[in-house]
Amino acid sequence: MPALMQIEVVSNMPLIRNHCRFRPWSIIVILAFLFSFSASVTAGPPDFPAPPGASVEWVGQNVQVNGINSAIRAFHSKKSIEDVIKFYRREWQRPAEKDIPGYMESIDAYPWYIISRIEDGYMLSAQVQVKENDKSGSWGYLSLSPLPKDSSKATQLGASVPKIAGSYVLNEMKSEDPGKRANTVVISNKHSVISNADYYRQHYQSKGWTTETDRHLGRNEGHSLVFKNRRSRVTIMVLKDKNYTRVVVNSVKNSVF
């Protein structure tokens, strides 16, 4: 089982510490559930501006992350992480909900820095990191998600994805575009890379799927599998991660031929 995350409210830009292995979307989902009891969805989503001067593009307007629907944009900015975070601190300094601060910041999602806000029944989250080819600039994602109406109903992650006994689902992301539905699930277990690969090979081949790829990645450090049937394609990456094995299952189903 993964370690618990630490979510902190901070007033100044701290040093980012590299001791959290969670995906940033997991933190956003946890924050959404933490504050869902105090907010109700209104007629429409609040304004969520991008950083000034940033280039912005849609990742998906109907993406589901761990059971929470989200509209996600990617942005690229010539401004630093510090400047982007300062922009949102100014924008969100006034609380929109009673007994909830204007914004929350997470400093434990390296290399990401995450700042979030609850407003009108929505979670607004900006996650930012340094550009690899331009240390003075930054890039990241802007996620707008309605808070769950009933936080007591837990979503069973990865229910439709086969997994070897003893597996734990870390993350699930679903998206739907015209003519195509996609689902990506991240799984963790203590079985070997070979055992996981054998499990998925047997599962899909026994159901008549065609094997497109089946190959080792180094000395038992990983395995790549791709299976296809009439309308669906499943890509599986099995990777060794210290005491655990991580499995990423990406399923794409086409609604047309």
Residue 12 has pLDDT above 50, yes or no: no
Q: pLDDT tens-digit profile of 50-106?
A: 999 999 999 888 787 777 778 889 999 999 999 999 999 999 999 887 777 899 887
Please give the model's pTM, rounded to 2 decimal places: 0.58
Helix (H, G, I), strand (E, B) or coil at 196: helix
Question: What pLDDT, on the 0 to 100 scale, is given for residue 109?
Answer: 64
Q: pLDDT tens-digit profile of 104-120?
A: 887 656 678 889 998 88
Question: What pLDDT, on the 0 to 100 scale, is given for residue 250?
Answer: 92
- Partner residues linked to 8 by β-bridges: 105
Closest CA to 125 of 108, 111, 112, 138: 112
Q: Could you tell me the strand order of the sheet in which 104-109 lies? A: 104-109, 112-119, 122-131, 134-146, 68-77, 55-65, 168-177, 180-189, 244-254, 232-241, 222-228, 210-216
Q: Higher pLDDT residue, 76 or 134?
A: 76
Q: How far apart are CA 2 and CA 75, in angstroms?
A: 30
42-46, 219-223, 238-242, 248-252 — most confident range: 248-252
The architecture in CATH of the region 168-254 reads 3-Layer(aba) Sandwich (3.40)
Q: Where are the domains of the chain?
A: 24-146, 168-254
Q: Are 80 and 128 in contact (CB under 8 A)?
A: no
Helix (H, G, I), strand (E, B) or coil at 217: coil
